[in-house]
């Protein structure tokens, strides 16, 4: 082929040589595109920055509207007066709402920039992947898990409670590790060594370490949430009068308490699995574009954000109230509950937020899961 090309002289030879080089370059480019397509097909076809930005902006806007409404409706001055909101310091529910609201703001800004520029640059990656999902989302969901453990701690005592205290300590250590790794990742990205995000992902060792740390962190979080759900299930099923309730009502009660934990754990495990797969692909195939596919956006970015956020908002849907203002003590401590030990009564009080009006008829004689209609009526009367 080369001899045939160089046998020509003058402009004809130059034209044929240029044509041969162009065809060769195009064929090499097609081969590279085919390789990229094969790799990205692992998690679906590649998604454009504009499309991913629009979808992400819609999801974050939806969550932001819900959280903003909750912040106003639950913590406004009118609701404080009407519902006797407890203003004795920062509560876990307040922290979760505030962090989730901040997270949606930062991620929404990043998605808006992606839509406007039709690209994923250093700024959007820092806001979305490092600050948003890497730090704020993890801390927000950790606070939700801490709320569940706080309910359990107030319902248990003795050696079992001491054993359970190990889990929040583990979560605190993992949260610190994830935060520190994310900070180092941001410093490495913005240091100027890498011109683009793709080059950073391909060559940065800090990025790979952060992927591994976050994968382990989300996996540990998922395991601990499953453990928490198991403790709650065992505690409810061991209530002395729980067997007196018909099976359908028992199933509804369990679902309303356990399902949020199960869905959160599955979401954390899903994100952990995607990050572990991405880490493995960076080691085995450093030139791949694993994070560009539809599966990555859906399985690692959107579902693990949307599902835990809605589940946690459901779990903390009831307001913080001051039991010393407007609510008689006899309502909170009924004669039936006084017959039980302190851990049992504490468990009843702390899990009352999960009760719903449609189970009132079934749970009137169930001390551990009584409805508090009288409390709501007294509070409504105080508002009037």
Query: What per-residue confidence (pLDDT) applies to 88?
Result: 54
Query: What per-residue confidence (pLDDT) applies to 9?
Result: 43
Average pLDDT of span 174-187? 97
Q: Is the pLDDT of residue 99 over 50?
A: yes
- Binned at pLDDT 50, 70 and 90, residue 89 comes out as low
Q: Is the pLDDT of residue 95 over 70?
A: yes
Please give the residue that has the higher pLDDT: either 320 or 261: 261
Domain locations in the chain? 49-315
Asked if residue 164 lies in contact with residue 231, where contact means CB atoms within 8 angstroms, the answer is: yes
What percentage of the chain has pLDDT greater than the value 90?
40
What is the residue-wise DSSP string for 347-370?
HHHHTGGG--GGGHHHHTT-GGG-
Tens digit of each residue's pLDDT (9 = 90 or more) over 315-364: 887 765 544 333 333 323 333 433 333 333 444 444 454 444 444 444 44
- Binned at pLDDT 50, 70 and 90, residue 266 comes out as very high
Bridge partners, residue 85, by sequence = 321
CATH 3.30.420 fits 49-315, yes or no: no
> Any idea which of 55-69, 161-175, 329-343 has the lowest mean pLDDT?
329-343
Structure pTM? Answer: 0.73
CA dihedral 356, 362, 363, 364 (to 10 degrees): 110
Q: Is the pLDDT of residue 27 over 80?
A: no
Query: What per-residue confidence (pLDDT) applies to 6?
Result: 39
Identify the burial level of 127 via C-beta atoms within 10 angstroms of its C-beta, where 0-12 means exposed, 13-18 middle and 19 or more buried: buried
């Amino acid at each position: 082929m080369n001899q045939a090309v160089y046998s020509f002289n003058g402009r004809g030879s130059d034209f044929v040589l240029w044509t041969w080089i162009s065809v060769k370059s195009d064929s090499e480019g097609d081969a590279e595109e085919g390789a990229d397509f094969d790799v990205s097909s692992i998690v679906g076809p590649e998604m454009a920055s504009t499309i991913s930005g629009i979808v992400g902006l819609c999801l974050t806007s939806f969550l932001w509207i819900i959280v903003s409404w909750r912040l106003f409706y639950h913590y406004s001055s009118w609701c404080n007066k009407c519902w006797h909101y407890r203003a004795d310091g920062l509560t876990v529910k307040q922290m979760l709402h505030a962090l989730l609201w901040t997270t949606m703001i930062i991620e929404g800004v990043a998605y808006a920039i992606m839509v406007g520029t039709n690209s994923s640059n250093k700024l959007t990656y820092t806001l979305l992947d490092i600050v948003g999902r890497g730090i704020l989302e993890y801390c927000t969901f950790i606070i939700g898990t801490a709320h569940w453990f706080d309910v359990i701690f107030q319902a248990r005592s003795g050696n079992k409670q001491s054993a359970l205290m190990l889990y929040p300590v583990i979560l605190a250590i993992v949260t610190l590790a994830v935060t520190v790794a994310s900070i180092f990742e941001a410093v490495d990205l913005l240091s100027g060594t890498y011109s683009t995000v793709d080059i950073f992902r391909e060559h940065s060792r800090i990025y790979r370490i952060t992927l591994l740390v976050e994968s382990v962190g989300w996996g540990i979080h998922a395991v601990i949430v499953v453990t928490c759900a198991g403790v709650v299930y065992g505690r409810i099923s061991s209530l002395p009068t729980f067997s007196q309730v018909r099976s359908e009502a028992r199933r509804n009660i369990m679902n309303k308490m356990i399902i949020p934990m199960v869905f959160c754990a599955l979401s954390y495990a899903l994100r952990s699995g995607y990050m572990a797969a991405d880490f493995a692909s960076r080691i085995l195939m450093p030139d791949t574009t694993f994070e560009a596919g539809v599966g990555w956006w859906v399985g690692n970015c959107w579902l693990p954000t949307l599902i835990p956020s809605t589940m946690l908002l459901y779990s903390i849907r009831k307001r913080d109230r001051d039991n010393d203002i407007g609510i008689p003590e006899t309502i909170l401590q009924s004669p039936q509950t006084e017959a039980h030990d302190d851990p049992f009564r504490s468990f009843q009080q702390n899990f009352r937020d999960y009760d719903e009006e449609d189970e009132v008829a079934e749970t009137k004689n169930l001390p551990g899961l009584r409805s508090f209609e009288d409390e709501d009526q007294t509070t409504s009367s105080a508002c009037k």
